Structure 1
């Protein structure tokens, strides 16, 4: 899901104009992060090992066999990438919003200057 946004950003230097799509992508990224983080407790040994220490050797063998630590490292790297992507997209949205706000302020200032100049010129004419 992230790849099309990244490709558009890389090729065109801007994000698609669909803010809703970007926000949905951020929401999906956060949901994935929460689901995976909630289910993964590989770094911690199960509670049953406290109650039955004789199972500790079995757990250690299973941990090695299924490469749980390596998988945890891989999963943490992927979650970090998802988090960084979500942060980058929110920063892009904030930047776009700030730019629009700055343009609106400049336009209002120009309108005020134009109105003030018109009033000065109209006042001198009489």
Structure 2
């Protein structure tokens, strides 16, 4: 079996997937959906990642074509994808075995495929935020490098950047479901073990912590520049007060002379 998970740059609705792939989607993990037919298993994660599982790669490519998605050279720089082969081995001693090369199951089930799709889609979603953070990190560096030329008039620009940063943190923490155990894992030790193994192989938690660390560093940079701007603003107001006092003194002296 073949698995392909990709981040949807343009949102695809549940009804569009159902109509294009001739699949009925039902509620799955948290706010996600899943469905399957004779040749395809599809999982739509709530954070904009679509995972397709099929026996043949051509079936996945056909499904993507039906959705208007092409994995050609024009999209290689924009589409975030991850693929993983899934093998079925009835002679396997344990229920599953996960390596860097493949996922091996003793038997395939809708439940197991949804668990696998969840972990891979989280990895793809995390990669999307990693790229987004890299862009923000470069922008924050440029802001710090130009700190000596930063003026009060650029305060709005910095506030917009801080807003983007806060929204990125909120989306990453709330959407990826990495801080809380998904409901699908409760009361199912085997499913939890499969998910934990996949999370370990994909380094989900380590990558999540690294991303949060980058967010904290960018936040410190923004606070540093904001403090400088506030200091400049305070100095500007102090000079205005001093000038007003001097003008009042001069006018008082002129009045006394008259």
With the shorter chain as reference, the TM-score category is 0.7 to 0.9
Preserved contact between residue 29 and residue 86 of structure 1 (Cα < 8 Å): no
The corresponding residue for 1:6 is 144
Deviations 1:63-111 (A, max 9, x none): 2111122112201101111222232232223222212111111111001
**Greater strand proportion:** 2
Q: Give the structure-2-normalised TM-score.
A: 0.42
Query: After superposition, where does 1:1-126 map in structure 2 within 5 Å?
Result: 1-9=139-147, 13-16=148-151, 17-122=153-258
Provide the rounded CA distance (Å) in 1 between the counterparts of 2:173 and 2:239. 41
Large movers: runs of 4+ above 6 Å = none
Aligned length: 119
Deviations 1:27-78 (A, max 9, x none): 2222222222222432332211114232121012112111122112201101
Structure 1 residues 43 and 32: alpha-carbon distance in aligned structure 2, compared to 1, 3 A threshold: closer
Preserved contact between residue 8 and residue 15 of structure 1 (Cα < 8 Å): yes
Over the residues paired in the alignment, what is the CA RMSD in angstroms?
A: 1.9
Provide the rounded CA distance (Å) in 1 between the counterparts of 2:180 and 2:219. 23
Please list every run of 5 or more consecutive structure 1 residues that lacks an aligned counterpart in the other structure.
none
SS in 2 for 1:18: helix
Q: Give the structure-1-normalised TM-score.
A: 0.80
SS in 1 for 2:146: helix
